[in-house]
Amino acid sequence: DSGVTQTPKHLITATGQRVTLRCSPRSGDLSVYWYQQSLDQGLQFLIQYYNGEERAKGNILERFSAQQFPDLHSELNLSSLELGDSALYFCASSVGAVGNQPQHFGDGTRLSIL
């Protein structure tokens, strides 16, 4: 058990819809990272928050947004969903902001777009 909790585990929705994925980091971790894992693209870094502030941005689409709340949990919002957004979305957390610290991953949310 990594200590990182992601909900829901599975999400099925239709094109054009909007969903919110939730992540609770490991106790004591201030950084939260979001990743998208698909068969063709592999594991893609989306965005990082540290102590409530956006710290690094990766390949995140404009239709996607995220935030980290004062209690350090984070939400990833995906809107105007397309078939290609079907993927596993992982959240990870680490103690600090720097990249050379180990990240602890949740079990992911599987998003299926019909």
Partner 1 sequence: GNSVTQMEGPVTLSEEAFLTINCTYTATGYPSLFWYVQYPGEGLQLLLKATKADDKGSNKGFEATYRKETTSFHLEKGSVQVSDSAVYFCALSDQWDKIIFGKGTRLHILP
Question: Applying CB under 8 A, which residues contact partner 1?
Answer: 2, 4, 33, 42-43, 45, 48, 55-56, 58, 90, 92, 97-100, 102-108
Contact 37, 87 (CB under 8 A): yes
Helices and strands (H, E) in the chain, number of each type: 0, 11
Asked whether the beta carbons of 93 and 4 are under 8 A apart, the reply is yes
Min dist. Cβ of residue 15 to partner 1 (A): 26
In terms of CB distance, is 52 or 79 closer to partner 1? 52
Closer residue to partner 1 in complex, CB, 30/97: 97
Residue nearer to partner 1 on the CB measure, 15 or 41:
41
- Minimum CB–partner distance for residue 74 and partner 1 (Å): 15
Q: Do residues 9 and 110 make contact, with C-beta atoms less than 8 angstroms apart?
A: yes
Q: How far is CA 92 from the centre of its chain?
A: 7
